[in-house]
Structure formats: structure tokens, C-alpha cells
Amino acid sequence: MTTRPADVNLADPELYADGDPYAAWRALREHEPVAWQAVSGTLGFWSVTRYEDVERVLEDHVSFTSERGTLLSLLGRDDPAAGRQMAVTDPPRHDRMRAPLHRALRLRSAEAHAGQIRAGIRELLPDVPPGAERTFDFAAACAQLPLVVLGPLLGLPARDRPRLVRLAMMCAAEDDPEHQLPGGPEATLQRGHRELFAYFADLVRERRRRPPEDADRDLAEGAGDLVDVLLSMEVDGARLTPGEVLSNCYSLLLGASVTLAHVPPAAVLELSRTGRYTDWAADPDLLDSGVEEALRWASPARHFMRYARRPVVLADMPLGAGDPVVAWLGSANRDGTVFTRPDVFDPGRRRNRHLAFGAGPHYCAGASIARVTLRLFFAELFARYAEIEVTGTPRRARSTFLSGITHLPVRVRPRQKEVAR
Ligand code: HEM
């Protein structure tokens, strides 16, 4: 039995950098599964920590809207992209925006890009000669994993990747000292947004110079990328405006780049701590279930926010119309009423119904490509390194949204290559 930490502040990024959010969430699930978290003055939000309630908030778009913003960083002001960017648009318009993108992401996922993704992954992981060992920052090596995938999908040149990773981190982890500008979190957020929008504005302008029939032909032949899909798609009888195209490019970049990179470091840290790396690496049958467990374990997107559209009762708690509601995915994924031994990383876990990709109409549009990428990544990691051991203190992002390790010093030993007979 835990007691409710009366002074826990789920809006404080420090809790996630140096504290123990899992203990705070556990206590809240037990004592106050829907709890009011004051922020300042009358500003605050309902904190939802149990699996069942988190799933309800994400699925029930009739009671809970995404159109006033979905991240805590926007609490107290409405999201200007509402109705224009898929992630902050409610059904039914949302569904009409999502269908062509989702189709394109599924088509382009998996097999279509597996070769390219595998080659990109090989470049991220350092080669170690037989008999030697090597130390490096595993989290830094993973930082560009999302761009290995997203680069070809959005047609982004490889030289731009480091800059895009940096800008995405400014937008998703504006409180983190490593990414924050001297002007503070708000200035960091604004600058990140501005630069990313300017970047995509150039990209889209360039694309629009192409004759439309060329883009249509590429798409028909399966050669167009997601920018082409956005430029050509029609929603409610009209093409997206340039602003809507930009906004959705931004959302795709952010959706992928601040999540995918943080799954392998979280898994490797725990596998090293428990000495279970070699067990998982030795059993290829556990690749798929292990990736699902890594997703549950890492839950890189800690939360998503909604606003109650009307008075609604959640876990016996009456919420008022217009109240902000934060669904903590990281907490739902450790709920002991759904997962046996929730605080154990078990690559063989069965019936792993984690919510790392969310639930309901906004369920991650990139989930299938993220899964393929992670399977390729772990397969390559296991093929390359017989052992991996964390040798220093991990550094966690200071962020209410991003659950990520930004530095993870490791030592690796290569797998012995089989000698050709
Ligand atoms: C491990 C990797 C990933 C995780 C954990 C993740 C997580 C999520 C979650 C939880 C949502 C739901 C948001 C909500 O309910 O408001 C979401 C939505 C979304 N994700 Fe991902 N994501 C990942 C990778 C990707 C990738 C690779 C892409 C793009 C290629 C992507 C693009 C999107 C988009 C566009 C949405 C909005 C979908 C909609 O509103 O219908 N994500 N993601």
C-alpha cells in the first residue's frame, strides 16, 4: 500500500529528470486515479493515471476534444493548428485527413523501406573489431534513428538530420537544459516552431515548383513521398492550404523524432541493469514481443492532453466542461491491474496491450513503421554486439512530455563472426 505523495507535482519537469514519476503515478493510481493538479492560480488539469481511464479519455473523442491542444506545454492557450493539423483535429474531419496519410504510411512502411532503414541503422551503430571493446554514448547514437526513417518518407536530405533532431527536441523538451535557449522554455518553444516551419516552408515551396502531373505520376507509381501526399490530398472537397501542409509536416517530424529514438536506450538501460541482454539477444523468437515490451517500458510520449467538451464523470470524479485532462500513458503502461509484474521488463511478455501508441482515433499513424524500425534496430544490435553494459550515469530529459534518456555511456563487445568453412 502506498500513500499519496501530497506534494507531488506532475507538471514539474524536474520530477522526470531526477525524481521518480513511477512512484508518484503508482500512488495516484491507488489513491486518486483522477486527481486535480494545480499549476498556477486557477490554471490546472485533471491527471488520469489508470489504464482503463487513460484509454477512455483517448478513445472518447465525443467527450474529450483534441482541438484545444494535446500537450501540457500548451496548457492555458488554445492550439492555433486546431482543425488544420491532423493531430489536433477531431473526427469526422480528422478521419478524412488521416485516411490518405495513413494509407501512404502503411504502404511505405515495412518492406518498401526495410533495406534503406537497415542501412541507416548500420551507420548509427559503431563497428568493433573482433576481440576488442568500445565505449560510446548509446543514446546519442540513437538520436538520429527517427530521421533514418523519416528522411526518405518526407524526402529530407541526410545533411539536415542533426539540425532537425535539435529543433524537434527544442519543441518537445523545451525545459531540458541541453536544448533550452538562454531566453527560457517559452522562447525555446517559439524558436523551435518558427525554424521548423521555415524549414518546411522552403521544402514545400520547392515541391510546388514541380508540375502537378509529375507529382501525381510519382504518387501513382508509389514513388512520391509524404509531402507529395499532403500536397495532393483533398479534404472536404478542397486541397490542403500551404499552412495545413506545413503544419502536418511539422507534426509528422515531431511525432516520429521525439519518440522513436528513446525506445532503445530505455530498454538497454534496463537490460544492462538486470543482466538480461544476452537472454533476449539469444532468442530470435522474442524479437517481436521484446519490441512491444520495449515500447511499453519506454513509453516515450508520457502524456497526451484533451479538454472535456461537456460535463463528464471519470472514475467517479465529475469533470466540468472545458476542463483540461491529461492522460499519462507512462502510468497506464505500468498499471498492475492490466500487466502482471508491471515493473519488470519481460521481452517474452504476452498479451501486451500497451498504450505507448495511444488509442482511439488518434492512435499513432506511424505505429507500423515504428515497429518495423525497432525490430530492424534490435536485430542489428543483437547481431553486432554480444554484450552491452552501461558504464556511466544516464541523463534523462527534463520534460513533462518526452520520456527519454539523452546520454547513456555504454561498453560493447562484438559478437564473434562465424568463420566461413
Ligand atoms: C516509438 C515511436 C512512436 C511512439 C511511441 C508514438 C506515439 C504516439 C502517440 C501516443 C500518438 C497519439 C497522440 C494523441 O492521442 O493525441 C501518436 C500520434 C501520431 N504519431 Fe506517433 N509515435 C511514434 C512514432 C511515430 C512515427 C515514426 C511517426 C511518423 C512516421 C508518427 C506520427 C504520428 C502522427 C502523425 C500522429 C497523429 C495521428 C492522428 O492524430 O491521427 N509517430 N504517436
Residue 185 lies in a domain: yes
Average pLDDT over every residue of 283-293: 97
122 or 421, which is more confident: 122
Q: Does residue 83 fall inside a structural domain? A: no
In this predicted structure, the answer to whether residue 321 has a pLDDT above a threshold of 50 is: yes
Q: Is the pLDDT of residue 245 over 80?
A: yes
Band of pLDDT at residue 215, cut at 50, 70 and 90: low
Contacts of 216 (CB under 8 A, 6+ apart): 232
Residue 238, domain member (yes or no): yes
Q: Is residue 288 part of a domain?
A: yes
Q: Pick the more confident residue, 314 or 110.
A: 314
Distance CA 264, CA 370 (A): 12
Tell me the CATH number at 53.
Answer: 1.10.630.10
Does a structural domain hold residue 3? no
Q: Which atom of ligand 1 is nearest to the CA of 251?
A: 35
DSSP code of residue 321: T
Q: Which protein residues touch ligand 1 with a CB less than 6 Å away?
A: 58, 66, 70, 86-87, 98, 105, 149-150, 251-252, 255-256, 259-260, 263, 300-301, 304, 329, 356-358, 362, 364-366, 369-370
Confidence class for position 223, pLDDT limits 50, 70, 90:
low
Number of domains in the chain: 1
Q: What is the pLDDT of residues 70-120, one digit of tens each?
A: 999 999 999 989 989 999 999 999 999 998 888 888 765 566 778 888 999
CA-363 nearest atom, ligand 1: 12
Distance 131 CA to ligand 1 centre (A): 41
CB 267 within 8 A of CB 345: yes
Task: Please report whether residue 147 resides in a domain.
Answer: yes
- Mean of the pLDDT values across residues 214-232? 75
Q: Which atom of ligand 1 is nearest to the CA of 306?
A: 16
- The dihedral region occupied by 158, where left means phi > 0, alpha psi between -120 and 50, and beta the remainder, is alpha
Q: Residue 233 — pLDDT band, cuts 50, 70, 90?
A: confident
- Residue 80 belongs to some domain of the structure: no
pLDDT band at 219 (very low <50, low <70, confident <90, very high): low
Cell of 108: 511505405
116, 108 Cβ separation under 8 angstroms: no
Considering the chain, what percentage of its residues have pLDDT values greater than 90? Answer: 71
Q: Could you give the angle at which helices 145-154 and 111-124 cross, rounded to 10 degrees?
A: 140
- Helix and strand numbers (H, E) in the chain are 17, 14
Residue 290 covered by a domain: yes
- Print the domain residue range for 49: 13-31+42-71+89-126+133-414
Mutate to test the pocket of ligand 1, among 106, 304, 364 (most ligand atoms within 8 A of CB): 364
Cell of 310: 461537456
The verdict on whether omega for the bond into residue 100 sits within 30 degrees of 0, i.e. cis, is: no
pLDDT above 80 for 246: yes
